[in-house]
Amino acid sequence: MKEFLDELEDMNIGKIERNVPLYKYTTYRVGGIASAIVYPKNVDSLMKLIRFVRSKDIPFKILGFGSNLLFSSKQYNGILIRLDEFRDLEFFGTSKVRVGAGYSLVKLSLQAAKRGLAGLEFAAGIPGTVGGAVFMNAGAYKSDMGYIVQDITVLTPDLRIIKLENKELDFHYRSSFLQKHPGYICLEAVIRLEKGDKNAIEEVIKDRRRRRIESQPLNFPSAGSVFRNPEGMFAGKMIEDLGLKGFQIGGAKVSEKHANFIINYDHATGEDIKSLIEYVREKVKKEYHVELKVEQEFVNWE
SS3 of the chain: CHHHHHHHHHCCCEEEEEEEEHHHHCCCCCCCEEEEEEEECCHHHHHHHHHHHHHCCCCEEECCCCCCEEECCCCEEEEEECCCCCCCEEEECCCEEEEECCCEHHHHHHHHHHCCEECCHHHHHCCCEHHHHHHHCCEECCEEHHHCEEEEEEECCCCCEEEEEHHHHCCECCECHHHHCCCCEEEEEEEECEECCHHHHHHHHHHHHHHHHHHCCCCCCCCCECECCCCCCCHHHHHHHCCCCCCEECCEEECCCCCCEEEECCCCCHHHHHHHHHHHHHHHHHHHCCCCCECCEEECCC
Q: In percent, how much of the chain has pLDDT > 90? A: 93
With respect to CATH, is domain 89-201 assigned 3.30.70.1150? no
Active site (annotated) includes residue 17: no
Active site (annotated) includes residue 174: yes
In this prediction, residue 302 carries a pLDDT of: 83
Catalytic residue among 87, 174, 208, 212: 174
In this prediction, residue 1 carries a pLDDT of: 85
What mean pLDDT, rounded, does the chain reach? 95
pLDDT in tens, 156-214: 999 999 999 999 999 998 899 999 998 999 999 999 999 999 999 999 999 998 988 99
The domain ranges of the chain are 2-81, 89-201, 217-299
Active site (annotated) includes residue 165: no
In this prediction, residue 140 carries a pLDDT of: 87
For 217-299, which CATH class? alpha beta
In this prediction, residue 65 carries a pLDDT of: 93
Catalytic residue among 67, 104, 225, 255: 225
In this prediction, residue 27 carries a pLDDT of: 96
pTM for the full predicted model: 0.91
CATH architecture, domain 2-81:
2-Layer Sandwich (3.30)
In this prediction, residue 256 carries a pLDDT of: 97
pLDDT in tens, 259-290: 999 999 999 999 999 999 999 999 999 999 99
